[in-house]
Amino acid sequence: MNGLSTNKKLGVFVLAMMNVAVVMSLRGIPMIAKTGLPMIFFLLFSVLVFLIPVSLISAELATGWYNKGGGVYQWVKEAFGDRCGFLAIWLQWMQNVIWFPTVLAFAAGALGYLFLQPTLVNSNVFTFFMIIIIYWVATLVNLRGLKLAGKVTTSLVIIGTIIPAILIIVLGVLWIAMGNPIEFLKTSHSIIPDFSNFGNISFLAGIVLLFAGMEVSAAHVREVRNPRKDYPKAILLSVLIIFVLFLIGSIALAAAVPADVINLDSGLMQGFKVLLNNFGIGILLPFIGLLVACGAVGGVIAWIAGPSKGVCHTAEFGDIPPIMSKRNKAGVQINLLIIQGLIVTALASLFLIIPSVNDAFFILTILTAVPYLIMYLMLFATGVKLRYSHPEVERAYKVPGGNAGMWLLSGVGTGGILFAIVFALFPPAQLPHFMSQGVYVALIIGVTAAIILAALIINYKKKPGWTVKTVED
């Protein structure tokens, strides 16, 4: 029997918590806080025009094509063919590869406070070596198999994400309640950003991407007691929790630390330093730094094997060369992880090339955002296409409103993504020492084009002999 037994079906609250676990990440709080009072606009925009459309459309696709492997590869392939399906999973994988240096830079910033060496926080060399060391250690853990990686991940995420999130919120609320000055109100006077200066909203693409990942949890929709009623409830509950945690956490940070000095990689620890010292418990700062770093590392361990496993799955259909699908004795796609590690190492060198750690962090964030947002454009188009090309497929959950409802939801999501991509092409005003717009735009377009071109070349060169039957874990 596929899924859970009747008495073990997922309830609304449990599914909502699973969604929160997939999407929520503390590394996004400094970026949101740096926008000041307009953070409310950015968060509402991300939820209404991105998170909700992605969640509901992914739920419909997951319940319709769960028995064929599921995921964006299978969904897009059903709608637009092999080449587009492979491009979708490739974009998802490459986004993840580029994401690793950013989250590990966040971990490096936290570790700088652990070692009580403030100069390490903004040290390019320290950040680079921390990324490399932590990433390859995490890769070795994954090569030992899913069981070990799962145990390590669970422990690290619990102590390094949940506890610091609660603590920053409590400290921030106490800071405001005790009448301390609220920093973001000194420079921000409206929740609506200044649209006359595109640089003021260039963080939008990065903030939108903080809400990515709900398509992963959509795979559990068939394990819900009543998908048509309970799944939308779980989505709305998880959306509310994610919105509130991001908002209160960002307000807590922005209230204590001026926006112009918040670092994207270590901003959370800056907030902890101010808040802990204010309450006379600054001695806890190194301990908090260790916890935050553990949470980031736990997230990396969890994601190292996941997306690459999706690419490895395409070997069953001959979409990648057999050498890329090779697995070790533990059933882990060893060659793909090595390729992934080499790319991460190369990307981490940006922290040595670009003088500012802050700027390097943002560049990698945007390079992460644009390819992934393109994948979501394909996802929205897939939702509409499959309504017409495969109306006979039974879906345990369907976007309400018939085909018109699907068009509306996909249209809203597509418009929001295109809006975010356009504004991503403008250097952020919050980073005054950034590169020129010409170089910035050329870098984003060039890297995105190279990622897409690589997928198209691999697909064009594929041969019938590439098909490999794999044994899934």
pLDDT tens figures, 237-260? 888 888 888 999 999 999 999 988
Q: Name residue 325's amino acid.
A: S
Q: What confidence tens digit (pLDDT) does each residue in 268-320 have?
A: 999 999 999 989 999 999 999 888 888 888 878 777 766 777 787 787 778 88
Rounded to whole angstroms, how far apart are CA atoms 58 and 88? Answer: 14
Q: What are phi and psi of 221, to 5 degrees?
A: -65, -30
Residue 117 has pLDDT above 90, yes or no: no
149, 137 Cβ separation under 8 angstroms: no
Q: Residue 468: inside a domain, yes or no?
A: no
Q: Residue 63: inside a domain, yes or no?
A: yes
Q: What angle do CA 212, 216, 222 make, to 5 degrees?
A: 135
Q: Residue 473: inside a domain, yes or no?
A: no
89, 73 Cβ separation under 8 angstroms: yes
Query: Quick one: pLDDT band at residue 187, thresholds 50, 70, 90?
Result: confident
Q: Residue 2: inside a domain, yes or no?
A: no
- What is residue 282's DSSP assignment? G
Residue 12 tokens, joined: 């609304």
Q: Residue 470: inside a domain, yes or no?
A: no
- pLDDT at site 150: 65
- pLDDT at site 8: 56
- pLDDT at site 223: 72
- pLDDT at site 473: 41
Residue 345 tokens, joined: 């190492």
Q: Residue 1: inside a domain, yes or no?
A: no
Calculate mean pLDDT across residues 376-384. 96
- pLDDT at site 186: 87
Q: Residue 335: inside a domain, yes or no?
A: yes
Domain containing residue 276: 9-462
Q: Which residue has the higher pLDDT, 217 or 277?
A: 277
Pinpoint the alpha helices (H) of 321-436.
Answer: 334-348, 350-353, 357-389, 402-424
Which residues are paired to 117 by β-bridges? none
Q: Residue 3: inside a domain, yes or no?
A: no
- pLDDT at site 4: 44
Residues in the chain: 473
Provide the number of structural domains found in the chain: 1
Contacting residues for 240 by C-beta, under 8 A, at least 6 apart: none
Q: What confidence tens digit (pLDDT) does each residue in 342-378 have?
A: 999 999 998 888 888 878 888 888 888 889 999 999 9
Q: Is 10 helix (H, G, I), strand (E, B) or coil?
A: strand
Residue 56 has pLDDT above 70, yes or no: yes
Calculate mean pLDDT across residues 441-456. 92
CATH number at residue 418: 1.20.1740.10
* End-to-end CA gap in the chain: 18
Residue 221 has pLDDT above 70, yes or no: no
Q: Name residue 440's amino acid.
A: Y
Give which of 340, 286, 312 is closest to 138, Cα–Cα.
340
161, 22 Cβ separation under 8 angstroms: no
